[in-house]
Structure 1
């Protein structure tokens, strides 16, 4: 990609920073209103680089600029008819292009890139924190015997997320994006966020080795004990949809999915809004959904969703049952 240049411009009452393509008459890629903090994106494919250059200038210039807000020009196809040579056509009136305001996405340091997370990242962190409470001698003994110092429910959940994560891996080869262990302000996390042509899926792994699972319209029963998995998954998907829609600047539908791992049998007494599937079949189930997003939108959602800062802005406290 071409190296972009930044050029401050200031006259009484106006103060802007332009990000242009190289050259004396390089096209404007984006510009920052330094008085309001609004960034206008003129060429979408340069957005990430332009925002990084703007943020770099704001840090190094020593000037005080309000928090940035991005305004992106929505591109819409317009039908045009060829004017007839024999009959003059009225001149079309210029139509203002709609502006979509989205929050400013700051540059992403490596430690905030959630694409680096392995399946089960959240639970793995909890297990390691718990192990630190034991003496060095106990930790060494556990390491030699290849045992983890955590309760069985946590270890079972960790194994379930790792198994589902492994089954999702083949989707990456056909253009899907997969994230694991998305941390939330409440202290909980989203096991997996999967992004592909059919949209976005929040996948909740449930590891129940040898269990009998029954799926109703409002509740999931494991060995006849009811769990609010459906309600929690719907809540998780709704707020994820609101968050990604706000940050992407376009509607992002999110589908809740529960991936059951290790169950002896899954019986469906109803068809709830949440898709409950055998974790072994998760990749084929998601791939069977009808396409909705072109590749550029898949990439845009992934760029937003992989940034830890975005999820830190999520309000409210999540529900999560292990």
Structure 2
């Protein structure tokens, strides 16, 4: 047995398969779109190709990797267990539901499932921003057991997005309170600002807070801190704040779990 494991990761909107050793170090990676296997350890090239064999399609180029950028070098050094890039939207909720799915029958739907569906919907929308030079992280853990639902980094700056399931209900906003349907008002804007402030401290960069309301029944007043799942793509039209190299460097810093221990 070679002891190698294959770990799927999304980079720039493309799926890459990393081959890692028992110590977590990267031996090779497979870029499906480029049909290329890049070997970091040529001595273990045969083992790496054997581990990737179930995933390879057609003929692929095999060889040393292209010269990496500084951000890519940092990513290669990051242990897979500390890399937040593979996190799915609502990762923490999915894990919680797997551990405790709750009773099979209940009068009301589990609110965790509504929250998970909303975060997955926003994740789908954010995937479309990758082509415009934006980088996205989901379920970013903060000390104290809370999570930033989505952290978005791109030409228009950094945004900490807090997703709110509205599901056909009317939404009323009276800063900092948000009322969904007949529910009690919640200080969601205050929560979003607090999360963004913690992100700013961890990344030493300005992070803008924003709420994303998923499928509300009524139009939401235009505001820099309010989006819906249908208006969120307008982020792609903002720019002029960060250069591509800055985006990649901040994304690399943010995807390291250790960055958030000081938030």
**Is 1:278 aligned with 2:228?**
yes
For the residue of structure 1 that corresponds to 2:230, the secondary structure is helix
Counterpart of 2:174 in structure 1 is 216
Residue 237 of structure 1 and its aligned partner are, at CA, apart by 0.6
For the residue of structure 2 that corresponds to 1:214, the secondary structure is strand
- Give the Cα separation in 2 of the matches to 1:51 and 1:124: 26
Counterpart of 1:185 in structure 2 is 143
- Give the Cα separation in 1 of the matches to 2:229 and 2:243: 27
**TM-superposition CA deviations, 1:65-120 (whole Å, max 9, x none):** xxxxxxxxxxxxxxxxxxxxxxxxxxxxxxxxxxxxxxxxxx42112111101111
Partner of residue 165 from structure 2, selected from 196, 200, 207: 207
Partner of residue 299 from structure 1, selected from 248, 254, 257: 248
For the residue of structure 1 that corresponds to 2:164, the secondary structure is strand
For the residue of structure 2 that corresponds to 1:263, the secondary structure is coil
Partner of residue 207 from structure 2, selected from 254, 259, 267: 254
Give runs of aligned pairs for residues 122-133 of structure 1, distance below 5 A: 122-131=92-101
For the residue of structure 2 that corresponds to 1:182, the secondary structure is strand
**Is 1:110 aligned with 2:80?**
yes
For the residue of structure 1 that corresponds to 2:100, the secondary structure is helix
Residue 182 of structure 1 and its aligned partner are, at CA, apart by 0.7
- Give the Cα separation in 2 of the matches to 1:267 and 1:49: 42
Counterpart of 2:192 in structure 1 is 233
For the residue of structure 1 that corresponds to 2:93, the secondary structure is helix
User: TM-score, with normalisation over the residues of structure 2?
Assistant: 0.66
For the residue of structure 1 that corresponds to 2:189, the secondary structure is helix
User: TM-score, with normalisation over the residues of structure 1?
Assistant: 0.55
**Aligned pair in 2 of structure 1 residues 153, 49: CA closer, same or farther (>3 Å)?**
closer
CA contact (8 A) 2:132 2:236 kept: no
Aligned residues: 193
CA contact (8 A) 1:198 1:293 kept: yes
Residue 51 of structure 1 and its aligned partner are, at CA, apart by 11
Residue 122 of structure 1 and its aligned partner are, at CA, apart by 1.2
**Is 1:164 aligned with 2:164?**
no
Residue 50 of structure 1 and its aligned partner are, at CA, apart by 8.5
Residue 280 of structure 1 and its aligned partner are, at CA, apart by 2.0
CA contact (8 A) 1:214 1:266 kept: no
**TM-superposition CA deviations, 1:234-265 (whole Å, max 9, x none):** 111111111101xxxxxx21111111012111
Give runs of aligned pairs for residues 139-158 of structure 1, distance below 5 A: 152-158=110-116
**TM-superposition CA deviations, 1:266-311 (whole Å, max 9, x none):** 443x95xx61111122122x12333201111001000100111111
- Give the Cα separation in 2 of the matches to 1:50 and 1:117: 18
CA contact (8 A) 1:206 1:258 kept: yes
CA contact (8 A) 2:71 2:249 kept: no
CA contact (8 A) 1:164 1:280 kept: no
Give the structure with higher Rg (CA): 1
Q: Tell me, which stretches of 5 or more residues in structure 1 are unaligned? A: 1-44, 53-106, 135-141, 246-251, 315-322
- Give the Cα separation in 1 of the matches to 2:249 and 2:144: 26
